[in-house]
Structure 1
Amino acid sequence: MFNLILFGPPGSGKGTQSANITDTYQLQHVSTGDLLRDEVSRKTPLGVEAKKYMDQGLLVPDEVVIGMISSKIDDTPEARGFIFDGFPRTKAQAEALDKLLEFKNTEIHLVLALEVPEVELIKRLVGRGATSGRSDDNEEVIVKRIKEYHAKTEPVAGYYFAQGKLERIKGDGTIDETFKLLSKEVDKYLLPA
């Protein structure tokens, strides 16, 4: 089983590139954002609680997210591997994910960090919010999310760098250009299905 984390600030293209990687390598996509948005849209108790955090640009509590990931892994035992999109966002989450995967007799093999200039991130997120109605659709919330990313999430890159698993990828090219750069790294571990 091959496990990959696609990492980067809000608006860096994680969702788009996760879909490309999922299709090409036949990995199970684990997007905590999608899982949480599904809970919010269905107005489940978890979704109502999560929305309070999301609307403020804050992170949803770790134990909630780890539980969702554990269930996703258990629900797909035949999986070739998983791509984690938008998680872990903190060093504590990375450590919790490593423990969860170790318990399931696997590990994270590769972490790809998309790097996009902040001006481009804001432009992308404002545009996305205008068309999707997502809660991160105004510049004040977007800037707060980017600051939160730099404060809490960038240390995750250091955590995986210390394990020799991190590759930084230029993410401000076209979708195809960025995917080629990502594929070059994934191919070292797993060939397309």
Structure 2
Amino acid sequence: MMSIVLLGPPGAGKGTQAARIAEYLNIPAVSTGEIFRANIAAGTEIGKKAQSYMDRGEFVPDSVVNAMVEARLEAPDVQGGFLLDGYPRTVEQAQVLRDITAKLGRPVDLVLEIQVDEDEVVSRMLKRAQEQHRADDTEPVIRHRMEVYHEQTVPVATYYVDQDLLEVVDGSGSIDDVWARIVEILDRMVGPRA
């Protein structure tokens, strides 16, 4: 049973590695994007609230995001652990997550932060934008997203260092190179998988 938080800048390969970690540990990968889409599609009360903010082009406030995450972590499929991707993004959210998981009796066991050189991230994202024909992903836009990530998430990483939960993963190289580094950490924490 492992409860893991995955941090990393846009373009660090979090989605790819999240899927591998979830399969390796046999736990669900829970992304905030997925939580939003599920609540909106199901027409839940919090989904309707989130949609109203998004329709106005506004950020969904923490009170709504936190409620969605809490409801998702109360679901039966996460009783044996989970991997959270995209949450927490702020220290305040990290503190709320601590309270939620303590209430559920499943505190966060490990925080993995995938660190990648900014220029490598920019080139990866520009390549992806070209492949997916995403004209909005220009270098200035990507660099701005990186700035926002660093402003918000560096304090979150520091918060988890203070909790003695953070493990940094070198995100350079191939997907398999990064995966090998993650497996090394996971095996140290929970023992090798069969």
After superposition, the Cα gap between the structure-2 partners of 1:36 and 1:71, relative to the gap in structure 1 and judged at 3 Å, is same
Aligned to 1:125: 125
TM-score normalized with structure 1 length: 0.84
Aligned to 2:184: 184
Instruction: State the AA in 1 paired with 2:109.
Output: H
Q: Distance in 2 between matches of 1:84 and 1:147?
A: 22
Aligned to 2:53: 49
After superposition, the Cα gap between the structure-2 partners of 1:135 and 1:9, relative to the gap in structure 1 and judged at 3 Å, is farther
After superposition, the Cα gap between the structure-2 partners of 1:136 and 1:186, relative to the gap in structure 1 and judged at 3 Å, is farther
CA RMSD after TM alignment: 2.7
Deviation string, structure 1 residues 108-138 (Cα, Å, up to 9, x no partner) = 1111111101111122223334455779633
- Partner SS, residue 188 of structure 2: coil
After superposition, the Cα gap between the structure-2 partners of 1:136 and 1:146, relative to the gap in structure 1 and judged at 3 Å, is farther
After superposition, the Cα gap between the structure-2 partners of 1:164 and 1:117, relative to the gap in structure 1 and judged at 3 Å, is same
8 Å CA contact retained: 1:27, 1:80: yes
After superposition, the Cα gap between the structure-2 partners of 1:184 and 1:170, relative to the gap in structure 1 and judged at 3 Å, is same
Instruction: State the AA in 1 paired with 2:145.
Output: R
For structure 2, the residue ranges without an aligned partner over 5 or more in a row are none
After superposition, the Cα gap between the structure-2 partners of 1:169 and 1:133, relative to the gap in structure 1 and judged at 3 Å, is same
Q: Distance in 2 between matches of 1:79 and 1:20?
A: 19
Aligned to 2:173: 173
8 Å CA contact retained: 2:111, 2:166: yes
Superposition pairs for residues 46-85 of structure 1, below 5 Å? Answer: 46-47=50-51, 49-50=53-54, 52-53=57-58, 60-77=60-77, 79-85=79-85
After superposition, the Cα gap between the structure-2 partners of 1:98 and 1:132, relative to the gap in structure 1 and judged at 3 Å, is farther
Deviation at 1:166, TM superposition (A): 0.7
Matched, 1:101 2:105: no
8 Å CA contact retained: 2:28, 2:78: no
Instruction: State the AA in 2 paired with 1:90.
Output: T
8 Å CA contact retained: 1:125, 1:136: no
TM-score normalized with structure 2 length: 0.84
For structure 1, the residue ranges without an aligned partner over 5 or more in a row are 54-58
Instruction: State the AA in 1 paired with 2:6.
Output: L
After superposition, the Cα gap between the structure-2 partners of 1:42 and 1:101, relative to the gap in structure 1 and judged at 3 Å, is closer
Instruction: State the AA in 2 paired with 1:69.
Output: V
